[in-house]
């Protein structure tokens, strides 16, 4: 369990984290989302005592991280995506961490097995691929058999097999009643991995809800395709219904269910070639939530940039 109360971090005049309150509960995977610069990494660093709050506090299993007698046994963290550049083997790297934290040697072999590193455990860490480096970081985070796991962008740079593996791993970890806080910019992956989502924007919490609630907040629409789409669109025009033309023969309808649209088309004798109810995705919901929260925004759309390039 992680509990933040009025948690604040200022760097000079910049408020990176602005008096936020949230709880990360055991038994589920909590996703931590937000645009670049929203304050996710700063918050994670404060949770594990790498940064001191300017005000407020954050507790892990009831105490500030630094006050735990054996913090590695409370929280495992993977905060840097970079591989560890060392001439040591993976096994020796993990053994050295274990030795300085009073963790028995046999636990090193357990985490090597858990993270699928056995075939490379004797190899030099400096030569590891990004994916192997991520697994090694996770192995180090698991050394103390912690009840809480904090992972900053754990699937960054991983191949599809690695992404799938991390997803399965954290879901299983949470299913054991443990706590997982995970950040990622990959919305489709987050939708599959997380149960609960906290969204930060410019240092504040802008959403804190289950994935189902967040996705459910996006509007469902119906995609309709017909060779006589204009006649269908005219038939549907009424207050509280929005009809958007997206192609010569396609409209998107908000405010009416698919069966009513199908009946309306039949009533004017028009054949439909497609009638699809489209549920908004986590990505749609996220884009809506963070529209006004992005710190670094590109003002030129890819299409406009491309057109300009062609014109030159």
> Between 111 and 150, how does the x/- string for binding to ligand ATP read (CB under 6 A)?
----------------------------------------
Question: Which residue, 205, 82, 90, is CA-closest to 140?
Answer: 90
Instruction: Say how far apart CA 68 and CA 162 lie, in whole Å.
Output: 32
> Between 23 and 52, how does the x/- string for binding to ligand ATP read (CB under 6 A)?
-----------x-xxxxxxx----------
Closest to ligand ATP by CB, 42 vs 193, is: 42
Q: What is the DSSP string of 104-128?
A: -HHHHHHHHHHTT-GGGTTSBGGG-
The string over 260-289, giving b where at least 16 C-beta atoms fall within 10 Å of a residue's C-beta and e elsewhere, is: ebeebbeeeebebeebeeeebebebbbeeb
Closest to ligand ATP by CB, 18 vs 74, is: 18
103 is written with which tokens? 């963790």
| # residues near ligand ATP by CB under 6 A | 11
CB of residue 16 to ligand ATP, shortest distance in Å: 3
Closest to ligand ATP by CB, 134 vs 226, is: 134
> Between 260 and 289, how does the x/- string for binding to ligand ATP read (CB under 6 A)?
------------------------------
**3-state DSSP assignment of residue 229:** helix
Torsion angle, alpha carbons of 96, 101, 74, 189, to 10: -10
Using the rule CB under 6 A, is 80 a contact of ligand ATP? Answer: no
Q: Which residues bind ligand ATP (CB under 6 A)?
A: 11, 14, 16, 34, 36-42
């Amino acid at each position: 369990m992680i509990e933040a109360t009025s948690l604040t971090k200022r760097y000079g005049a910049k408020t990176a984290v602005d008096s936020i309150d949230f709880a990360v509960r055991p038994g589920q995977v909590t996703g931590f989302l937000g645009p670049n610069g929203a304050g996710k990494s700063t918050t994670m660093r404060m949770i594990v005592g790498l940064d001191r709050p300017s005000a407020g506090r954050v507790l892990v299993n009831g105490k500030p991280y630094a006050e735990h007698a054996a913090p590695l046994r409370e929280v495992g963290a993977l905060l840097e995506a970079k591989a560890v550049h060392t001439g040591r083997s993976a096994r020796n790297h993990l053994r050295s961490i274990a030795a300085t934290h009073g963790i028995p040697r046999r636990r090193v072999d357990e985490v090597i097995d858990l993270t699928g590193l056995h075939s490379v455990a004797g190899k030099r860490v400096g030569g590891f691929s990004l994916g192997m480096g991520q697994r090694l970081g996770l192995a180090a985070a698991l050394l103390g058999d912690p009840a809480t796991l904090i992972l900053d962008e754990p699937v960054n740079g991983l191949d599809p097999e690695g992404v799938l593996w991390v997803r399965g791993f954290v879901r299983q970890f949470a299913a054991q009643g443990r706590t997982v806080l995970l950040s990622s910019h990959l919305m489709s992956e987050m939708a599959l991995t997380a149960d609960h989502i906290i969204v930060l924007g410019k240092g504040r919490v802008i959403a804190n809800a289950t994935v189902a609630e967040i996705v459910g907040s996006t509007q469902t629409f119906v995609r309709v395709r017909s060779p006589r789409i204009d006649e269908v669109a005219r038939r549907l025009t009424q207050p509280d219904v929005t009809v958007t033309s997206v192609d010569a023969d396609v409209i998107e309808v908000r405010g009416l269910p698919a069966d009513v649209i199908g009946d309306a088309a039949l009533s004017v004798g028009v054949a439909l070639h497609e009638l699809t109810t489209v549920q908004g995705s986590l990505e749609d919901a996220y884009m809506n939530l963070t529209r006004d929260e992005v710190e670094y925004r590109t003002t030129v759309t890819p299409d406009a940039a491309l057109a300009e390039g062609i014109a030159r």
